[in-house]
Structure 1
Amino acid sequence: MADLPNKARVVIIGGGVVGCSVAYHLTKLGWKDVVLLERKQLTSGTTWHAAGLIAQLRATANMTKLAKYSQELYGNLEAETGVATGFKRCGSITVALTEERKEEIYRQAAMARAFGVEVEEISPSEVKARYEHLNIEDVKAGVWLPLDGQGDPANIALALAKGARQGGAIVKERIKVTNIAKSGRKVTGVDWVSDDGNSQGHIACDMIVNCAGMWGHEVGRMAGVNVPLHACEHFYIVTEGIQGLTQMPVLRVPDECAYYKEDAGKILLGAFEPNAKPWAMNGIPDSFEFDQLPEDFDHFEPILEAACNRVPMLAEAGIHTFFNGPESFSPDDAYHLGLAPEMDNVWVAAGFNSIGIQSAGGAGMALAQWMTDGERPFDLGDVDISRMQPFQGNKTYLFERSKETLGLLYADHFPYRQKATARGVRRTPFHHHLKEQGAVFGELAGWERANWFANEGQEREYQYTWKRQNWFENSAAEHRAVRENVGMYDMSSFGKIRVEGPDAEAFMNYVGGGDYSVPNGKIVYTQFLNRNGGIEADVTVTRLTETAYLVVTPAATRLADQTWMQRHRGNFNVVITDVTAGEGVLAIMGPNARKLLEKASPADFSNAVNPFGTAQEIELGMGLARAHRVTYVGELGWEIYVSSDMAGHAFETLWDAGQDMGLKLCGMHMMDSCRIEKGFRHFGHDITSEDHVVDAGLGFAVKTQKDDFIGKEAVLKRKETGPQSRLLQFKLTDPEPLLFHNEPILRDGEYVGYLCSGNYGHTLGAAIGMGYVPCANESAADVLNSTYEIDVMGTRVRAEASLRPLYDPKSERVKV
């Protein structure tokens, strides 16, 4: 009989490195009654065959913080548990074989400095000095991270498991979870059976954590939650022993899709090839345990051929092992962490995209803290599972997308790069109209969105580069149309959530920072705050009737924002419904927006009848619509909401009316370049759950005279102390360099932060960035009375800094 309790505080499903890390960190925080169940043997899924590369630098500051934590943890685990982790800081080198890749790795090096990671750009000869076996014939440059390392994946997991046991956790192997019992939005327990079938039982629990790796999708469905991931084949070879080969740095040659690791006098060569091979479309075999997949030497041969040229000693070394093992990949190459939106006590840590070893320590720590406090310890938006859309659990979608996501790990990470696979799932009502007019689409949360419009005869595709891309001038023309005349763009993908019921006003006043006790038709720009005053959502709320509001959210955060409201509904008598697909939305923006609308509708669009921040029902052509007078581009304008059945007619009516006015169709790139000139915040970049609303310069949107609302105390406290940092807008004094995000900010020659967003300001004539500067006990004047520079690819560029919008600081243009 398996010696298992019949009740636990938490059941962790999956005994790979991630599950062991979650158990370890929960016990470190004093949790009792922690049970970890592994279907076969610990590490027998993916962990055992991982390459064990442990890098510090990730794409964002918080992901880097977690990776650095993993390193520090693994360095100390052996002393704590007595289990050797094989962890050693051997350093890592990434080399560029093209000028484009050189810019990418140099920008990454600049970003590393902003994140506090030790890094050095090195020349080809310096690369050779650190990796003598490398053919540097066409190497352009390299980046050296001396504190990167490598470790023994299985032993790291076993050390974490031992540490968890020492902390009181029960870790049981050969116990498979066969069913998860649920009641409403909560799980109540798990049914289990032993591997030999001789014993079975039920554990009642307060919550579960899905750490099932490749099985995460299947376990998620048992729990009633969506965990989009798919297994792919991952190849590497290990050579025979090479005489005289000593410890070498980890080497990455992304232009050849390859990485190299020295281990015990042998070389491990692994690949992230551009066209991956998804595996187990019909499910993972129940018997899978430490299994290898069939060899496919033809698939790996191009990687090996390039590698023998790059590291010539490989051509002389015999192959000891040709390995093919499965690993799970998510639709966007970021792992899944956090509280699943569909249930209120199902946590997830899965889908680690070949970086499970370097991520597991930090992910386990962050999740354990989140589970303990009930709030994220810091912004985890990059990996929060609530970013995943329900349709992304579709198996056909996952199969198609996973072919691409494995290879994207080593592909050029160009700005604005679009996914090529699994496209066309979600289309707005205006899709075919926009396509006919030359739209070039990008994808966000599955939505096909017109990002820019090609000219007649121009290729309708992205041509990627770190310089000005092929659509730069197209977007500039769209930008000028909105600033100088009138433009129209599709905003249908933005989330629309209807909140209605007798308690709708009271509920909105509790969940949001604004004042929603307003007349029907009034639009309130507002934030949802957490207890610390951090920003959980950035939305506009329109009062439709006495008992109904429309909450408009960014497309990517609709599910997260709706879930936030649902979880704070309490005893309020309201119904919260996603109505995104029910209405199409066309934004009409620019100095001549009123003139265009007056041609298409008999409604009164004057300031007297329809002032800024109000909505009205209108006739449009032969149909009906609702006109919201708001703007995200800093110009006079309206967002026209029309039911999906009349959307085509609405587009044709407005398009025809604008033909003699020079109406221009515009895309999302234009919207972003205009909003950054105006200093409007971008949720997920400029404002996140760890950015205090006062520091973000949005204190004006919080009405503290209201009765209790979420975050009120934190806002009052920060208004007393003053901001601890300020969100500044920066304009480069040199019009040539481009900004994207994460470029370091220097204040009087010292690194003080990094840009959270960047784009080109076509009206202002230079790249514009936004970023936080620490300012505890400093006035606004003190902050501005400094010299600022932005580090662009290792070059410091002078920048003008401003707290007020650089474009139309008094917002006079939006209210004419």
Structure 2
Amino acid sequence: MTLPTQARVVIIGGGVIGCSVAYHLARLGWSDIVLLERKQLTSGTTWHAAGLIAQLRATANMTRLAKYSQELYGTLEEETGTATGFRRTGSITVALTRERHEELRRQAAMARAFGVEIDEIGVAEIAAKYPHLNTDGVVGGVYLPKDGQGDPANIALAMARGARMRGAVIAEGTKAVHFTRQGDRVGAVDWRAEDGTSGTIACDHVVNCAGMWGRDVGRMLGSDVPLQACEHFYIVSEPIADLGALPVLRVPDECAYYKEDAGKLMLGAFEPKAKPWAVKGLPADFEFDQLPEDFDHFEPILEQAVHRMPVLAKAGIHTFFNGPESFTPDNAYYMGLCPGTDNVWVAAGFNSIGIQSAGGAGMALAQWMVDGAKPFDLGDVDIARAQGFQTNPAYLSARVSETLGLLYADHFPYRQKATARGIRRSPLHDRLEAHGAVFGELSGWERANWFAGAGQAREYAYSWGRQNWFDNQRVEHMALRDGVGLYDMSSFGKLRVEGRDAAAFLNHVCGGDVDVPAGRIVYTQFLNARGGIEADVTVTRLSETAFLVVTPAATRRADETWLRRHVGDRNAVIADVTAGEAVIAVMGPRARAVLEGCSDGDFSNATNPFGTARQVHVGMGEARVHRVSYVGELGWEVYASADMAVHVFDALMAAGEPEGLRLCGLHAMDSCRAEKAFRHFGHDITCEDHVLEAGLGFAVKTDKPDFIGRDAVLAKREAGLDRRLVQFLLTDPEPLLYHNEPILRDGEIVGHLSSGAYGHALGGAIGLGYVPCTGESADALLSSAFEIDVAGVRVAARASLKPMYDPKGARTRA
């Protein structure tokens, strides 16, 4: 075999994802593309995929990608001459419980906000559209007429042909065996073909599209790609007379999906406890292979399916199939530029939705590679969220046994993973646990979300209504508002930036001015060239040359990566010091009294005003106190070294007892921040949300001469805003808001909520969301009548551009 010795990009993996990336890069004008496939195209998992192509995903941008995939597959055959088998059959999802029906109704509302055609249908209409279904126990469902199905292998082959037509080289039977890395760049790929030939390709970029081999290829490339193959089961019946053309059917309460194809019926399953496969390594010769049958594992699904679909009882089984699919710890795939690298990209770990995602994922990644910036917010799938420890096979094996089943589990709000827990713990963990903490998990961190009362079960009872911790949260929330509460923020990321050029470097990256006296805290954002928000942080100047950047726990690695990619040759060192300090938030009107009760520090406004940090003694130890607040109250974040953290906690608790101090969880922190209209990164503010339209212009200092995004901020100020982030309060105190509920302005859908919570002090559910306003004044916008669609019911809402709780911020400066 002869291959080019130079390429702009080498793509590893010839499944549907790799073929899509090659196709879309070629469409954007890259011709020197080489795709290496170890065996034959589609021979890993693509060939046996079910080929279900749905439009609706959990977020607006993931839905955008899925819709694009469907539209692309409808045109590929005409373009390439390769049949894709794509047809719009429609899809039905049915609910067998009231909770599932509530979920489907909320999904239908979300679909309307995202522009996806959807109908809520009753039992009679379900039976009319799917006459073979036994409707016993069916409560209702939704129908998406434009959903479809296709031939997975041919979709991939069509994109491969489209890439070849534009000059891409696709080499089958050719394995990448080594990568030459210098610093943060991979400069060459060594390959070896099955015919014994070998060679080296110098390249500008490498893309890891290796599917279930993605973790191994990532390791070779020096990047973390945590995924694990699981066994995935389906059966195909013998031909069924008069079956007819049918929509795709999902019965998630029975873990099952059904697809009609050529007069046969396919039954697939996402069982509650999955079987990880090849944990110790994938077979070197795997190609179009099946895994051993395990009828005992599949039998419970089949028994329910025979009841639900009686025609199956009369039809023989033509095929019992067991094949591997790769799954990730959070059920979201990986895409983007890998942390710690300048030219290594990934698109892998598609959690059994690779066919419906491939077109959009390939398009978005290709655009990102060409432009050097994300085309829109891809935070849900950005590889920068992956943690190094998550590549541990023991962790992956435990976690993916759960995540496969979660695809069809009830998607309740606040649902916590049950497996692979207890990995990262705050120094205060045991103290919090002893006081009744109920923990959730984020990025491996165990975090106290709420505190159970005496005799109360320390567990979540999930629901779409008021969950079992609603009253606990209310008590904690009101303690922060009216008295004093303490919560643990140790999981938040802490990045120390130090060096001669640290101030200049951070002023280039941050929209705010961080060149302030030591002891000052600056709330700011990292902006991109479009004025979008890449990170939402505080920066504390510790000394002339040292700063502390505090970030959300979920984005710590992404924010560190952003800093490292922009430091250039400046004299500045970036270090993750998250584990070195615990952070104890003491918040509420009585917070000053608590701190004065255990410290010799001066916490007065004259000495320690809002936005300043000071070193003090606490108990018999020492700590640094930051006067800031994410809940909108007087308060301090107390930073204590890990060795002194428990002592400092005990001293604060003792001083807080006479003040009525209450331990609080992060659910209460979130509901308080929603009342105060504080933005939540990843929901209310993302890389595609302009900092001015997010209402954060006060945090941007354009009198600085040079920072990323400055021109975009000035241009937006000149042109005016096209949308504004608005806070909403439902006038009915009963409904609950989570996020993605449609916003209606004068009866028309104009957007969706980016976040939601219950405002216990305001007496109703709170939401934040963007509303178009091109050419309008703030008064004109607010003079409209607003409603929020909650599971199909329109609920009137008050709207405000200022925080409805303490709009002038007097409480934080008390």
Shorter-chain TM-score range:
over 0.9
The AA in structure 2 aligned to 1:157 is A
CA–CA distance in structure 2, aligned partners of residues 594 and 53 of structure 1: 58
Alignment of 1:526-565 (within 5 A): 526-565=524-563
Structure 2 residue ranges without an equivalent (≥5): none
1:5 corresponding residue in structure 2: 4
Alignment of 1:204-353 (within 5 A): 204-353=202-351
1:500 corresponding residue in structure 2: 498
Matching residue within 785, 789, 792 for 1:791: 789
SS in structure 1 at match of 2:275: coil
2:585 corresponding residue in structure 1: 587
Q: Does 1:676 align with 2:686?
A: no
CA–CA distance in structure 1, aligned partners of residues 386 and 40 of structure 2: 30
CA–CA distance in structure 1, aligned partners of residues 383 and 393 of structure 2: 17
CA–CA distance in structure 2, aligned partners of residues 496 and 659 of structure 1: 30
The AA in structure 1 aligned to 2:561 is T
Structure 1 residue ranges without an equivalent (≥5): none
The AA in structure 2 aligned to 1:416 is Y
The Cα offsets for residues 258-310 of structure 1, whole Å up to 9 and x where unpaired, read as 00000000000000000000000111100000000000000000000000000
SS in structure 2 at match of 1:783: helix
CA–CA distance in structure 2, aligned partners of residues 202 and 716 of structure 1: 47
CA–CA distance in structure 1, aligned partners of residues 387 and 481 of structure 2: 34
Report the alpha carbon displacement of residue 389 of structure 1 after superposing the two structures with TM. 1.3
SS in structure 1 at match of 2:398: helix
Alignment of 1:656-667 (within 5 A): 656-667=654-665
The Cα offsets for residues 382-410 of structure 1, whole Å up to 9 and x where unpaired, read as 00000111111111111110100100000
1:777 corresponding residue in structure 2: 775
CA contact (8 A) 2:280 2:393 kept: no
1:155 corresponding residue in structure 2: 154
2:133 corresponding residue in structure 1: 134
Matching residue within 487, 490, 495 for 1:489: 487
CA–CA distance in structure 2, aligned partners of residues 615 and 155 of structure 1: 61
CA–CA distance in structure 1, aligned partners of residues 177 and 393 of structure 2: 21
CA–CA distance in structure 2, aligned partners of residues 676 and 47 of structure 1: 43
CA–CA distance in structure 2, aligned partners of residues 341 and 776 of structure 1: 37
CA contact (8 A) 2:671 2:758 kept: yes
SS in structure 1 at match of 2:542: strand
2:391 corresponding residue in structure 1: 393
The AA in structure 1 aligned to 2:438 is V
Report the alpha carbon displacement of residue 431 of structure 1 after superposing the two structures with TM. 0.2
CA contact (8 A) 2:437 2:458 kept: yes
The Cα offsets for residues 444-465 of structure 1, whole Å up to 9 and x where unpaired, read as 0000000000001000000000
1:179 corresponding residue in structure 2: 178
Report the alpha carbon displacement of residue 517 of structure 1 after superposing the two structures with TM. 1.4
The AA in structure 1 aligned to 2:15 is G
Alignment of 1:103-118 (within 5 A): 103-118=102-117
Alignment of 1:350-749 (within 5 A): 350-749=348-747
CA–CA distance in structure 2, aligned partners of residues 206 and 102 of structure 1: 50
CA–CA distance in structure 1, aligned partners of residues 335 and 773 of structure 2: 32
CA contact (8 A) 2:368 2:375 kept: yes
CA–CA distance in structure 2, aligned partners of residues 471 and 705 of structure 1: 47
Alignment of 1:63-82 (within 5 A): 63-82=62-81
Q: Does 1:815 align with 2:813?
A: yes
Report the alpha carbon displacement of residue 723 of structure 1 after superposing the two structures with TM. 1.3
1:39 corresponding residue in structure 2: 38
CA–CA distance in structure 1, aligned partners of residues 437 and 194 of structure 2: 55
The AA in structure 2 aligned to 1:109 is A
The AA in structure 1 aligned to 2:812 is V
CA–CA distance in structure 1, aligned partners of residues 720 and 396 of structure 2: 47
CA–CA distance in structure 1, aligned partners of residues 212 and 355 of structure 2: 15
Aligned length: 814
Q: Does 1:16 align with 2:15?
A: yes
SS in structure 2 at match of 1:12: strand
SS in structure 1 at match of 2:110: helix
CA–CA distance in structure 1, aligned partners of residues 47 and 342 of structure 2: 32
SS in structure 2 at match of 1:333: coil
SS in structure 1 at match of 2:658: coil
CA–CA distance in structure 2, aligned partners of residues 550 and 104 of structure 1: 42
CA contact (8 A) 2:593 2:659 kept: no
CA–CA distance in structure 2, aligned partners of residues 7 and 797 of structure 1: 60
In the TM superposition, structure 1's runs of 4+ consecutive aligned residues that sit over 2 Å from their partners are none
Report the alpha carbon displacement of residue 570 of structure 1 after superposing the two structures with TM. 1.4
The Cα offsets for residues 507-543 of structure 1, whole Å up to 9 and x where unpaired, read as 0110100011110000000000000000000000000
SS in structure 1 at match of 2:657: coil
Report the alpha carbon displacement of residue 571 of structure 1 after superposing the two structures with TM. 2.1
The AA in structure 1 aligned to 2:27 is K
1:102 corresponding residue in structure 2: 101
The AA in structure 2 aligned to 1:807 is Y
CA–CA distance in structure 1, aligned partners of residues 546 and 723 of structure 2: 37
Report the alpha carbon displacement of residue 246 of structure 1 after superposing the two structures with TM. 1.3
Report the alpha carbon displacement of residue 32 of structure 1 after superposing the two structures with TM. 1.8
The AA in structure 2 aligned to 1:561 is D
Report the alpha carbon displacement of residue 657 of structure 1 after superposing the two structures with TM. 1.2
The Cα offsets for residues 717-765 of structure 1, whole Å up to 9 and x where unpaired, read as 0011121100000000000000000000000000000000000000000
The AA in structure 1 aligned to 2:396 is L
CA–CA distance in structure 2, aligned partners of residues 577 and 167 of structure 1: 44
Matching residue within 800, 804, 812 for 1:802: 800
Report the alpha carbon displacement of residue 572 of structure 1 after superposing the two structures with TM. 1.2
Report the alpha carbon displacement of residue 646 of structure 1 after superposing the two structures with TM. 0.3
CA–CA distance in structure 1, aligned partners of residues 392 and 705 of structure 2: 44
CA–CA distance in structure 2, aligned partners of residues 593 and 155 of structure 1: 64
CA–CA distance in structure 2, aligned partners of residues 801 and 504 of structure 1: 41
Report the alpha carbon displacement of residue 784 of structure 1 after superposing the two structures with TM. 0.3
CA–CA distance in structure 2, aligned partners of residues 244 and 482 of structure 1: 65
CA–CA distance in structure 2, aligned partners of residues 348 and 780 of structure 1: 43
SS in structure 2 at match of 1:645: coil
TM-score (norm 2): 1.00
CA–CA distance in structure 2, aligned partners of residues 710 and 390 of structure 1: 29
The Cα offsets for residues 82-119 of structure 1, whole Å up to 9 and x where unpaired, read as 00000000000000000000000110000000000000
CA–CA distance in structure 1, aligned partners of residues 136 and 298 of structure 2: 23
Q: Does 1:88 align with 2:90?
A: no
CA contact (8 A) 2:510 2:526 kept: yes
CA–CA distance in structure 1, aligned partners of residues 419 and 188 of structure 2: 38
The AA in structure 1 aligned to 2:169 is I
SS in structure 2 at match of 1:600: coil
Structural RMSD (CA): 0.5
CA–CA distance in structure 1, aligned partners of residues 615 and 594 of structure 2: 17
